[in-house]
Structure 1
Amino acid sequence: MAILRYLEQHERIGVQDIVEQFKVSRDTARRDILKLEEQGSIVRTRGGAILPGSARQIRSYQERLQLESEGKRAIGMLGARFIQDRESVMMDASTTVRFAAEKMESKDNVVITNSIDIAAVLADKGNVSVKLLGGDLDLENRYVYGPRAVQMLSDFHVNKLFIGACGITVHGLFSWSEEDGLILREMMRRADAIYVLADHSKFGVQLLYRVAGLERIDVVITDEEPAEEIQDALRANNVDWIQATKHLAKEDATE
């Protein structure tokens, strides 16, 4: 079915996505979601659907780099603007955070990361001091993890942390694995301000490992407006959220 094919590519679909993609009414979109849920093919979320855990696959780094790339680039561009000269920064191995690293224009920064790709991107800039965590290398996902990496993090404290998220719900941030989640949790302990860079496909997705509650983060930068339920939860936890695509479009219009 077309909805399932869409989910295999984008991981999440909303009722409005079905209406626009397949030229059907909202009532038809809702009936299709209900039918697929009855068949066990999807898991219904507020305003849409995701694939069930057994059907969802952790995509390779290169595949994730291509998914929703236009939105991720906008998020990364805006995220990079929050980095000031001479600030110390941590960055996780998220593909969206990599776009922020590519767009960095600030100078004399120290950046601590567990991403071998982000380390390489920043090393080419020449005006950033890069500290790459040591530990076990997950080559497929291009990052370092494990007890040594967590121990190294305990020696640092930074001005700002930029992380991605595999899932964001009213209950907090979620990761696909405990190993990744432990790194994120330790990074969050070591930063004054925490920025989550996440495209719209991550909202409403609850995964195996809960990294932290929403109260632990300061800003969410995304590409599309979150569902009202998520917005309410962010406001309740004093979390600011910014729609990067709209923000950048306004800037372009005023230039």
Structure 2
Amino acid sequence: MYQEERMRSIVDYLQIHQRISIEDICSLFQVSRDTARRDLVKLEEHQAIIRTRGGALLPAAPYEVIQNYNERLLAVSEEKKRIGSLAAQLVRPGERVILDSSTTVQACAEMWRTADCYVITNSINQADVLSSKPDVSIHLLGGQLQKEHRYVYGSSVTDTLSRYQVDKAFIGTGGIADGGLFAVYEEEGRVKERMMEQASQVIVLADHSKFGKSNYYRFASWSRIDLLITDYLPEPQLLEQLQQHGVEVLAAHDLEKKEQDIE
């Protein structure tokens, strides 16, 4: 494992356990104490941790400022694009699909190659992206508009959703932590919750930065998820808990690495 991957895993571990020791790092990653110390020094230089005697803690989390949708789109990473590409490959001709309003789900819509599909969404952006694909039928749900984040919500949205049954729902999340999936806003979470209820298969799209993060509103337990598509596999304990709840996990980075090794 490269140092960058190991450092990312250390932070993922801290987000769940709050603290980590040198011994933990040596055991988890099969490295020497000197290597573990160098990792912590590097993480401290990036202000990602606070070093303690024999280990590290996460710094106190500042109040999270949520950027509006267009600002978040500007920051869409290559990791999210890889997640979106992998998710788009799962859509089959003739399927009925729900898309929520997250930027990672928009990355899926942008990579869409399947014709002859029916899409239901509460996102202005997802509808706009898919409108350029002539064989995709789009139902844009009507409701109260959240202008900053470009989605519609409210009882009219959840009531309309309750009348549909679809093959797949692609759902983004503000956090994956003990207890399930979290959203920043309650009204957004309620829509996601109903979308998941109406789908035969629930596919969650989330990059590694969402692991261990809990926001204001929990909209689903892990048992509601069929498949999680991410960039890097979560820390072993979180991965084990997901698998215990029957959640299949696909990591874009790990799949790419396996393909490169085969070549």
Give the TM-score band, short-chain normalised: 0.7 to 0.9
Structure 1 distance, partners of 2:57, 2:117, is 41
Aligned-residue offset at 1:238: 0.8
Of 116, 126, 130 in structure 2, the residue corresponding to residue 122 of structure 1 is 130
Listed one character per residue, the Cα deviations across residues 67-107 of structure 1 (whole Å, up to 9, x for unaligned) are: 35100000000000110010000000010000101111111
Is 1:26 matched with 2:34? no
Distance verdict in 2 for CA 1:34–1:79, change over 3 Å: same
Q: Secondary structure at the match of 1:105?
A: coil
Distance verdict in 2 for CA 1:232–1:160, change over 3 Å: same
- Sequence identity, in percent? 40
Aligned to 2:245: 237
Aligned to 1:178: 186
TM-score (norm 2): 0.79
Q: Map of 1:96-245 to 2, 5 A cutoff?
A: 96-245=104-253
Distance verdict in 2 for CA 1:232–1:178, change over 3 Å: same
Aligned to 2:17: none
Structure 1: gaps of 5 or more residues: 1-12, 18-23, 37-46
Q: Which amino acid aligns with 1:94?
A: S
Q: Does structure 2 retain, via aligned residues, the 8 Å contact 1:16–1:26?
A: no
Structure 2 distance, partners of 1:249, 1:123, is 34
Q: Does structure 2 retain, via aligned residues, the 8 Å contact 1:15–1:48?
A: no
Is 1:55 matched with 2:68? no
* Between 74-83 and 227-236, the greater mean CA deviation after superposition: 227-236
Aligned length: 228
Q: Which amino acid aligns with 2:187?
A: E
* Between 211-220 and 222-231, the greater mean CA deviation after superposition: 222-231
Structure 1 distance, partners of 2:262, 2:93, is 25
Structure 2 distance, partners of 1:80, 1:50, is 36
Structure 2 distance, partners of 1:50, 1:163, is 29
Structure 2 distance, partners of 1:181, 1:75, is 21
Structure 2 distance, partners of 1:137, 1:50, is 36
* Between 96-105 and 60-69, the greater mean CA deviation after superposition: 60-69
* Between 83-92 and 226-235, the greater mean CA deviation after superposition: 226-235
Distance verdict in 2 for CA 1:165–1:218, change over 3 Å: same
Q: Secondary structure at the match of 2:192?
A: helix
Q: Does structure 1 retain, via aligned residues, the 8 Å contact 2:50–2:58?
A: no
Structure 1 distance, partners of 2:72, 2:232, is 18
Aligned-residue offset at 1:172: 0.3
Q: Which amino acid aligns with 2:114?
A: S
Aligned to 1:81: 89
Aligned-residue offset at 1:108: 0.8
Q: Does structure 2 retain, via aligned residues, the 8 Å contact 1:173–1:212?
A: yes
Q: Does structure 1 retain, via aligned residues, the 8 Å contact 2:51–2:57?
A: no
Aligned-residue offset at 1:131: 0.3
Aligned-residue offset at 1:170: 2.8
Structure 2 distance, partners of 1:48, 1:77, is 35
Q: Map of 1:5-44 to 2, 5 A cutoff?
A: 15=10, 25-28=38-41, 33-34=49-50
Q: Which amino acid aligns with 1:25?
A: R
Q: Secondary structure at the match of 1:25?
A: helix
Q: Secondary structure at the match of 1:84?
A: coil
Structure 1 distance, partners of 2:157, 2:226, is 24
Q: Secondary structure at the match of 2:169?
A: strand
RMSD between aligned residues: 2.7
Q: Does structure 1 retain, via aligned residues, the 8 Å contact 2:50–2:59?
A: no
Distance verdict in 2 for CA 1:241–1:59, change over 3 Å: same
